[in-house]
Chains A and B, each alone.
Chain A
Amino acid sequence: MSEQKKVLVLGIGNILWADEGFGVRTLEHLQSHYEFPENVTLLDGGTQGVYLVQDVRDADILIVFDAIDYGLAPGTMKIIKNEGVPKFMGAKKVSLHQTGFQEVLALADMMGDYPEQIILIGVQPEYIEDFGGSLRPVVKAQIDPAVEQALAFMDANGISYTKRAAPFVPGDFSEDAILTMDNYEQGRPSEAEACRMGDDRILASDEFRVAEPELAKVGDSPVKVDVDHHLDKYR
């Protein structure tokens, strides 16, 4: 029966932003090791916000991989289902017109096409503010477990898949693609070659002083979002 259900497996995040790339990297891993029937779509959602609405509306079952700031220990995996998902998808707005995935779900709902089931497989990032960096080991180690969680969910819902005999190798065109995780990590220029942490002409100038990190406050509760550790050396 679930064979006819449309399934969307979505990885979201920014691979240029260290642990923020978890969702997309996990999706890539799933694609390279497993094959799926036609009713299952794998989508690299990147940092597209509201433009993902059409794909979410088309889905009966939605599986999302993402780096989520749950306020837990780095690398902790946490799984949220159905009604709980929008609450946890609101923490960041990474995309066009400053919309977040929470709004994507809201709009799909208002348009009358909300998925029947949603599972969010999220991992607590360790470090995000490393432009051009890759996943930290503690987060990378959760790729396999996250894939296992997705497969277990598929098993429970009668969604079929097969393990590939050999990992899927991208064709000629993408052989040199800088964005596959290995190439991305190996091709990173040294810090001396490529300015990584901001422009010293500004950061090290006398006119600019970097403040001690502060916790933002919402009402009475402090919230830690995007603390600028990369600026520590200028403090």
Chain B
Amino acid sequence: MSVTTTPNGYTLDTGGQRVVVDPVTRIEGHMRCEVNVDANNVITNAVSTGTMWRGLEVILKGRDPRDAWAFVERICGVCTGCHALTSVRAVEDALDIKIPYNAFLIREMMAKTLQVHDHVVHFYHLHALDWVNPVNALKADPKATSKLQQLTGPNHPNSSPGYFRDVQTRIRKFIESGQLGPFKNGYWDNPAYKLSPEADLMAVTHYLEALDLQKEFVKLHTVFGGKNPHPNYLVGGVPCAINMDGDMAAGAPLNMERLNFVKARIDEMKAFNDNVYIPDVLAIASFYKKQLWGGGLGAKSVMDYGAYPTVNYDKSTDQLPGGVILDDNWDNVMEVDPRDPDQVQEFVNHSWYKYPDESKGLHPWDGITDPNYDVSSAKGTHTNIEEIDEHAKYSWIKAPRWRGHAVEVGPLSRYTLAYAQGVEYVQDQVHRSVSAFNALAGTDLGAKPILQSTIGRTLARALESQYCSDMMVDDWHRLMDNIKAGDTATANMEKWDPATWPKEAKGVGITAAPRGALGHWIRIKDGKIENYQCVVPTTWNGSPRDPEGNIGAFEACLIGTPVERAEEPVEILRNLHSFDPCLACSTHVMSEEGEELVSAKVR
């Protein structure tokens, strides 16, 4: 039992009850979380452990750099495409390949579609049940639900009392049959749930609508990338030719009919964001006006590399400009250079890896991925760990730092940076949201207290989804104009042949992935990959402590959060889910009845 203060300003008290949540569910991959809770049920210490090893860096060694995208894309099927995009960017950077304007626009639309798809699916299908209680929705008055819908999202066509009554009847039949299906593993009588029955019914209804629509959104990937998940990419451009008058028989998948189809999908995304997603997040947020905690590092130190330039290769035209803010000082946005060996570094003294000198961090170009699993100081046995020892190595996630500082990444970080740098579109969105929140909640709060919270993280994700659908409308028109002007190039193959490459080269690719700043660093030697390192958003956010003792974003967001019932970790899941954690895909241990063997243990 001890009380310490970290260099980044968090007081950690390891007294009180220890609560273990393992695995954390409704995320991708394997994660464990332990917290200490004091006598007032407030979290005073948090330990986040990534419990699986990715190892792709090892698989890639010695392979053809032009193939790397296809391997790294399969890190995960959810953020599908963003690793492929980052990989082709890294290889093109190393070999100094510039892609055609059409390829740039098509990649932009694919990346933004992923944002919308990923954000919508995250909110409705992974995160909503932290806020929404489907059992409570059975008590709703469909007429009042219809009124709520018309108040919050007046332009959404599905708003009649009959429509909500139908959905309610189906859910009732389902829940009363004793099969909760996707609503299993909930703590539905926990007072941490605050929505009115009508808001619950509206949200559950949109859960089903979103499920129906998400399959339409990703059709944009199937047009440009041939398939989804895992659309195809290409070093030098995009693997789809343009022939506006073609019937696709000649092998050119893009003609006028397909491009109109793409536009229809973009309009669909925009309508859903404007009329359903944003209104839902604001309506739900207003019920949790007294639970605006969980800001953690997002309220202090944030980072992004910047994304969505209007002119390719010109970072000054980024529509979501990057940078670093430290200690909540929005007046001082510092530049990020992913090439600078002193900026982005990964530490492993609390991670299950080996470095020759673990007091120092390594820049990804010089990164080492050498596993060193050791839980000898944890309580319990090797296969049944009762309590992790956070003073030793305790995670398969490395600890990336920017000039030694722990930073949060993600939509909230991007929105903080864009707001602080005066991006008008973003400021308007935030101001409109703050007004709507205050009107619904009867509060008079400014932007910071709303944004710098678990709710704020969830709101920023929705706003980014809306921004992406609007940016895509511009991208689409630019693509049409460029094609009409006679440019149909989609790939630059001048340096396809490895004989044209230098003997040694290194490059970096950066992307605004749905969960935050994503970077791939590659070294190429004699035409093969010599070293490849991915520093993914969840590495930043889920990082364990560093040699200085700074805690990462997952751990920081939990400190100070009160929980209603220590044995039902609703608040812990809510805070962690607000990051949309992704630790790569795998399977889970299940019982015959399909119950996930999740345990929340109180010690």
Which A residues are within 8 Å of any B CB, using their own CB? 50-51, 53-54, 69, 71, 86-87, 89-94, 96-100, 102-103, 105-107, 109-112, 199, 201-202, 205, 207-211, 214, 216, 218, 223, 225-226
Contacts and interface: CB of A to CB of B under 8 A. Distances in A.
B579 to A, nearest CB: 15
B125 A97 contact: yes
A189 to B, nearest CB: 14
Q: Main secondary structure on chain B at its contact with chain A?
A: loop
A98 B181 contact: no
Contact of B181 (A51, A94, A110): A110
- Among B166, B585, B591, B597, the most chain A Cβ lie within 10 Å of the Cβ of B591
Contacts, number: 112
A110 B208 contact: yes
B589 A98 contact: no
Contacts of B374: 207
Contact of A90 (B25, B121, B585, B593): B593
Contact of B590 (A54, A86, A93): A93
B373 A207 contact: yes
Nearest to A55: B215
Contacts of B167: 110
B170 interface: yes
Given A50-B211, A107-B208, A109-B174, A94 B587 contact: yes
A109 B121 CA distance: 19
A89 B181 CA distance: 11
B174 A218 contact: no
A105 to B, nearest CB: 8
Contacts of A211: 381-384
A12 B592 CA distance: 18
B166 A91 contact: no
B270 to A, nearest CB: 22
Given A106-B174, A107-B211, 18 more contacts: A69-B592, A90-B590, A93-B596, A94-B587, A96-B229, A98-B588, A100-B590, A102-B594, A103-B181, A107-B182, A110-B167, A216-B589, A216-B591, A216-B597, A218-B595, A223-B591, A225-B589, A226-B589
A106 B126 contact: no
A93 B208 contact: no
Nearest to B209: A111
Nearest to A207: B374
Contact of B170 (A92, A97, A109, A205): A109
Contact of A111 (B212, B595, B597): B212
Contact of A218 (B166, B181, B593): B593
Interface string B166-192: 110011001000010110000000000
A92 B591 CA distance: 8
A92 B590 contact: yes
A10 to B, nearest CB: 16
9 contacts: A54-B215, A93-B596, A97-B78, A99-B182, A107-B182, A107-B211, A110-B171, A199-B55, A223-B592
B601 to A, nearest CB: 14
B208 A97 contact: no
Contacts of A51: 215
Contacts of A91: 590-592, 594
A202 B215 CA distance: 40
Interface in B545-598: 585, 587-597
B376 interface: yes
B530 interface: no
Contact of A86 (B179, B382, B592, B595): B179
A111 B211 contact: yes
Nearest to A94: B587
B502 interface: no
A54 B181 CA distance: 17
B592 A100 contact: no
B26 interface: yes
Nearest to A101: B594
Interface string B303-329: 000000000000000000000000000
A120 to B, nearest CB: 14
B77 interface: yes
B371 interface: yes
A163 B384 CA distance: 54
Contacts of B389: none
Nearest to B55: A199
Contacts of A87: 593
A124 to B, nearest CB: 13
B589 A201 contact: no
B372 interface: yes
Nearest to B382: A209
Contacts of A205: 373
A92 B381 CA distance: 26
| Nearest 9 Cβ contacts at the A-B interface | A90-B594, A106-B181, A211-B383, A218-B591, A207-B374, A103-B182, A209-B382, A223-B591, A102-B594
Contacts of A97: 26, 28, 78, 121, 125-126
B174 A50 contact: no
A106 B182 contact: yes
A218 B211 CA distance: 31
A86 B587 CA distance: 19
Contacts of A103: 181-182
- Among B208, B592, B595, the most chain A Cβ lie within 10 Å of the Cβ of B592
